[in-house]
Amino acid sequence: MSTIVSISTAPGIGGIGIIRMSGEETFQIIEKIFKPIKPQKIEDIKGYTIKYGNIVENDEIVDEVLVSYFKSPKSYTTENMCEINSHGGNVIVKRILDICLKNGAVLAEPGEFTKRAFLNGRIDLSQAESVIDVINAKSEKEAKSGIKQLQGYLSKVISDIKQEIMDVLVNIEVTIDYPEYDLPDVQEKELKDMLESVHKKLVKLEKSFDNGKMIKEGIKTAIIGKPNAGKSSLLNAILNEDRAIVTDIEGTTRDTIEEFVTINGIPLKLVDTAGIRVAKDEVEKIGITKSIDQAKDADLIIAIFDSSRELSNEDLEILELIKNKNVIILLNKSDLKSILKENDERFTNITKRVLKISALNKEGIENLYKMISEMFHLNEINLDNEVLITNIRHKDSISKAIENVNKAEEALNMKMPVDITTIYIKEILEDLGEITGEVVTEDVINEIFSKFCLGK
């Protein structure tokens, strides 16, 4: 395989920059371009060593650097690798990259280092995918779940299930060779028990995707209310919260903005924040129906009313539209003399979740977070003892595996020849193999790694 090189640090001004190289010729290239202060033969340099010296081109010192040596197989990719720590910024790092390229390395594709780690068997596909999750994490929970997957927790659950299947499959192998004989009762029971147990485990994993998706994508939340109810004040109160980690993410259409906020570990994806921020007359133009339309596939609707005024027709319209939705009703402007009460049946008929707040004074916002956390059972997610599926590709494979478990169980119940049952059972193994990457096409692999950043 070629020797690849890439800048691994993010572009821009920073203290250090890292240029990473991996492949057979790494050490030859580094010998040509790097002059250590204390020269040493490459054979004498142990893996995990850092040497200090200069990158030199045509006898000119390009930069003062540290070079780390990793010797195959003990490296990220399992190949010989070097990492050059240079000064950061836009010029030096790029120049060192060019020098590596001139001396025989080729530019790495996005994710190619991790792809090599996978192709060389150091990590499986689910672990490789978790690398991107860790890098892209928007909340601590998401990062933690990614790190656990990287450590192989999901791989272990999958391989245990596969082993459970294999153990039984091996036992009936003899019977498969003579399908004209019936499956002995003992073995039939063994098969049934195994399928039942595997079914339970897979369904648990499949269900974990609800939480996994929420952690990864955030609770899709829409704030709605008529003009002047206090939507943008609430939005500001949320976004300016000290403990909030705010990440702007692109909305699905050009004129929507979505903001990802994590407060007290609660991941919220606020949709259509652009709609909230446009000038007042624009809001009126957009109209309430449009705003509820944008909120229609939200996981949570926060409907906000001005509690210092009697409900207007627009408010009543909103109440009508949020019936049967997952909704929290906020009675805003609690600092003013209130006309609307929490126990007003026009609210309580829709939801028990009615809260008084003052968006302006940031009062009652904590209660809102508490309510959301309880509503989505966020405190019950324990990442220490639970493996969460966060990746739709994995979820799809698990769903396929469950279908095949069902088919195998059906075949068994209908007393079909045992070789039919085993066909389905082998399909389950294949479905699970897609997650860990034993059974995937090159296209799938390329698609996965194309989403990586350069240098990883």
User: Cβ contacts of residue 139 below 8 Å, gap of 6+?
Assistant: 215, 218, 245, 262, 265, 267
Nearer CB in complex with ligand GDP: 46/337:
337
Nearer CB in complex with ligand GDP: 294/397:
294
CA distance 44 to 412: 63
CA distance 80 to 4: 11
Among 216, 333, 353, 395, binds ligand GDP (CB under 6 A): 333
- Provide the minimum distance between the beta carbon of 30 and ligand GDP in the complex, in angstroms, as a whole number: 58
CA distance 55 to 35: 6
Site for ligand GDP in 38-57 (CB under 6 A): none
- Provide the minimum distance between the beta carbon of 85 and ligand GDP in the complex, in angstroms, as a whole number: 48
**What is the residue whose two structure tokens read 């369904």?**
203
Query: What is the x/- site pattern for ligand GDP, positions 283-312, by CB under 6 A?
Result: ------------------------------
Nearer CB in complex with ligand GDP: 339/420:
339
Query: What is the x/- site pattern for ligand GDP, positions 254-283, by CB under 6 A?
Result: ----------------------x-------
Query: What is the x/- site pattern for ligand GDP, positions 221-250, by CB under 6 A?
Result: ----x-xxxxxxx-----------------
Q: H or E segment at 443?
A: helix 442-450
Nearer CB in complex with ligand GDP: 361/446:
361
CA distance 26 to 23: 6
Strand pairing partners for 133?
none
Number of residues in contact with ligand GDP, rule: CB under 6 A?
Answer: 16
Nearer CB in complex with ligand GDP: 300/412:
300
- Provide the minimum distance between the beta carbon of 126 and ligand GDP in the complex, in angstroms, as a whole number: 43
Site for ligand GDP in 339-398 (CB under 6 A): 358-360
Of 177, 159, 25, 194, the closest CA to residue 100 belongs to 25
Nearer CB in complex with ligand GDP: 91/336:
336
User: Cβ contacts of residue 175 below 8 Å, gap of 6+?
Assistant: 181, 183, 184, 187, 418
For 314, other C-beta atoms within 10 Å of its C-beta total 15
- The beta strands (E) that lie in 141-297 are given as 219-224, 245-250, 257-263, 266-270
- Provide the minimum distance between the beta carbon of 338 and ligand GDP in the complex, in angstroms, as a whole number: 11
Residues near ligand GDP (CB under 6 A) = 225, 227-233, 276, 332-333, 335-336, 358-360
